[in-house]
Chains A and B, each alone.
Chain A
Amino acid sequence: MTAAASGDAHRPARAAGTPRYAPPVDLAELIADPDTRIVVCCGSGGVGKTTTSAALALAAAEAGRRVVVLTIDPARRLAQSLGLGELDNEPRRVDVPGVDGELHAMMLDMKRTFDDIVVAHSTPERAEVILANPFYQTLSSSFAGTQEYMAMEKLGQLRAADTWDLIVVDTPPSRSALDFLDAPNRMSRFLDGTMIRLLTAPARAGGRAGFKFASAGLLFFSRIISKVLGGQLLRDISAFVSALDTMFGGFRERATATYELLRRPGTWFVVVATPEPDALREASYFVDRLSAEGMPLAGLVLNRTHPPASTRLSATRAEVAAESVDDGDGAPAALVAGALRVHAERMTLAMREQRLADRFTSAHPEVGIRAVPAAAGDVHDLEGLRVMAEALTGPDDDTPTGVPRTRVLPARRG
């Protein structure tokens, strides 16, 4: 966002080799800004995108906005606490006491979203044929990318409805954060692929020049497919492809339109990562991709960090002290030694996390960071979301140790 970008511009140039510090991210300002209409939370699987999305949406509702959060695959208890039923493909209002705005939430039903598109883009008879086709059924429920594509489709629908002033989108759990951005293209590529063209060629070309070649290819393909897969399978494929044929234009158009939506002003991306090498590597790819696509990045949420409650005692000194306590005996000694070891472990972990964050910053010095400490248990209710929302949107330096929320440990002096 702008604060991050200008913050960096005001920074004095540094000599090579001196550490760079990540600029802060003002998510509170971002979600309160009426010009912000869409916030997309991305990141690789298991980093806490869903909870981050829900917490941001809650914070936005608390800031007085009418917000809807589109979750993809929430943990059961979180879904329950948001009142998300499984049979629902529409937003429902969440009852949050003492909030100025409104919080609505929904869970994506991939198959139903797909069915709706089919129905919207064809005649009732044709839609019936498609919906009953076994290939459609596997494609709509398990095509790698259908979920991403349908999440985009749903986002487009929510935005078009214009009922909410802010839409927060969680992205599907995939190994790669890029899958979300690639889905519409992958779908188009699939629909434009040689095989689809071959299979639909007879119907399309209707005896014109291309027909001969196409049908030769098709014959060859059919022969092998029927030999290997059985004839009935081929008939199903052909029926499916020709039924879908009329909808291809619509599909492609929608995919392109939603993709464009992501580049419009008012859309912001929040990249979520845990302080682990794999998650940060994915975050790094994603940041590069956003910048290549000209899509605006709000910043990185470094989720589940372990900042120590005090940074005054180093890991080494805590270890040494623990050993000298061990020499004494009795239960209190074991407790004190244990406490010192807990602290030493915590410092070591925090150091590792800070090192990983620093590495990210040296590659992406302009990207702001907001570190969100790990909760002791799972976040599965509104109270837990409130705590997380506070960590996401609270003032940057308002922490018990005074360490800014851009970091896990204080910056080294000198």
Chain B
Amino acid sequence: MSPDFPVRCHVVTGKGGTGKTTVAAALALALAAGGHTVLLVECEGRQGIAQLFDTPPLPYEERRVAVTRGGGEVRALAIDVEEALLEYLEMFYNLRRAGRALRKMGAVDFATTIAPGLRDVLITGKIKEAVTRREDGRRVYDAVVVDAPPTGRITRFLNVTSEMAGLARSGPIKTQSDGVMAVLRSPQTAVHLVTLLEDMPVQETADAIAELTEAGLPVGSVIVNMATEPALPAEDLVRAAAGRLTGADLAPGLTAAGLPEDTDLAEALAAEVVEHAQRWAAQDALRARVESLGRPTVELPLLPGPMDLGCLFELAGRLEEHLGAEVAA
């Protein structure tokens, strides 16, 4: 285990559309920098990780998707619930063939449909296994990053014991979920929340922090994704946000810049600036709300153009600084 990362299991959640898969991938790259081995786990069968790293769809198998400086690497795993169940049956009961028969009968589908909590136990069980896996007495992974279900479902997903409590009050599944909970509630786990500076994602982040805390699950950082910079000097921004900017304020400057005299255009530009400033003011108000959540916060910039590996490394750089600051604090 590497001493510089006390947290080894990073769970990344966020409202749909906030870019949690991207953030999870960037975080995995950040943690791998400097020679660490990191596992990036996908649990909802979307193959988003494969798309980001531009690789063929991931099988239920740990595959290297990126190398980082200093000999680090990121491996990725897309958890398949059926496969995880078969693995579980084999590992604990030596029942692989029976498991296959059950699958043929539709039992696996049935069981995970009727008790969605069972699905979560299997997925989190696999995550726990990766976090605690050792080979020759050494940890296989310095860190595990999970691209987890969205904020609306995250507490239920991680809080497997209580989810299963109504269903399995004793027996092996209960033992299994207790073991998973022990890891997820320990200080080696952190649940990070990805948000945008928009009303609903910030609200959901606040709700999720409250729920996670209530459930005794450790909350990590809040990651503000796709943050933008204002294009105007601060005092102009305030004036424009208040709507006190007109075409007349811009017209002379526009003519000086070599544009033909056009009062309509000046008015249109002023209207766009006012909207830009109002949008920015709304974001800034939300920024204050994010700060009031009292969690370590990092902002990732909105990058122009499509997301590719280069962009991921750029975001990873920002996260690395943040992690460094976190450890130093």
Please report A residues at the B interface, Cβ cutoff 8 Å.
45-46, 75-77, 134-135, 137-139, 142-144, 173, 175, 190, 193-196, 198, 217, 220-221, 224-225, 227-233, 236-237, 240, 308-310, 312-313, 317, 321-322, 324-325, 328, 331-336, 338-343, 345-346, 376-378, 380, 401
Residues of B within 8 A of A308 (CB): 268, 272
Q: From B166, which residue of chain A is reached at the shortest CB distance? A: A134
Pairwise interchain contact B231-A342, C-beta atoms closer than 8 A: yes
Residues of B within 8 A of A328 (CB): 256
How many A-B pairs with Cβ below 8 Å?
189
A148 to chain B, nearest CB (A): 14
A86 to chain B, nearest CB (A): 13
With A224-B98, A312-B265 known as contacts, the answer to whether A143 contacts B257 (CB < 8 A) is: no
| The one of B17, B116, B253 that contacts A144, using a Cβ cutoff of 8 Å | B116
Segment at the interface with A among B69-77, B168-176, B320-328 = B168-176
Task: State whether the Cβ of B262 lies closer than 8 Å to any Cβ in chain A.
Answer: yes
Residues of A within 8 A of B262 (CB): 312
| The one of A137, A138, A227, A343 that contacts B272, using a Cβ cutoff of 8 Å | A343
Pairwise interchain contact B16-A338, C-beta atoms closer than 8 A: no
Interchain residue pairs with CB less than 8 A apart (6): A175-B16, A194-B106, A231-B171, A233-B173, A376-B282, A377-B199
Segment at the interface with A among B33-41, B55-63, B107-115, B186-194 = B107-115
Q: Number of B interface residues, CB 8 Å?
A: 66
Please report B residues at the A interface, Cβ cutoff 8 Å.
15-17, 46, 89, 92-93, 95, 98, 101-102, 105-107, 109-111, 113-118, 156, 166-174, 198-200, 203, 231-233, 235-236, 249-250, 252-254, 256-259, 262, 264-265, 267-273, 275-276, 278-279, 282
Pairwise interchain contact A380-B199, C-beta atoms closer than 8 A: yes
Residues of A within 8 A of B232 (CB): 334-335, 338-339, 342
State the CA gap A228–B109 with chains docked (Å): 16
Residues of B within 8 A of A240 (CB): 114
Residues of B within 8 A of A194 (CB): 105-106, 110
| The one of A198, A340, A345, A346 that contacts B257, using a Cβ cutoff of 8 Å | A340
With A232-B171, A336-B254 known as contacts, the answer to whether A346 contacts B272 (CB < 8 A) is: yes
Apart from A334-B232, A338-B231, A343-B269, what 10 extra A-B contacts exist at CB < 8 Å? Answer: A135-B114, A144-B113, A228-B171, A229-B168, A230-B168, A312-B265, A321-B258, A324-B257, A335-B232, A335-B236
B291 to chain A, nearest CB (A): 19
Pairwise interchain contact A195-B107, C-beta atoms closer than 8 A: yes
State the CA gap A33–B102 with chains docked (Å): 53
Pairwise interchain contact A342-B273, C-beta atoms closer than 8 A: yes
State the CA gap A175–B149 with chains docked (Å): 11
Max chain B C-beta neighbours (<10 A), residue from A230, A328, A338: A338
State the CA gap A225–B16 with chains docked (Å): 35
Pairwise interchain contact A135-B272, C-beta atoms closer than 8 A: no
Pairwise interchain contact A46-B172, C-beta atoms closer than 8 A: no
Pairwise interchain contact B113-A217, C-beta atoms closer than 8 A: no
What are the 7 tightest A-B residue pairs by CB atom distance, in nearest-first order? A230-B171, A336-B253, A310-B268, A195-B110, A309-B268, A338-B232, A46-B17
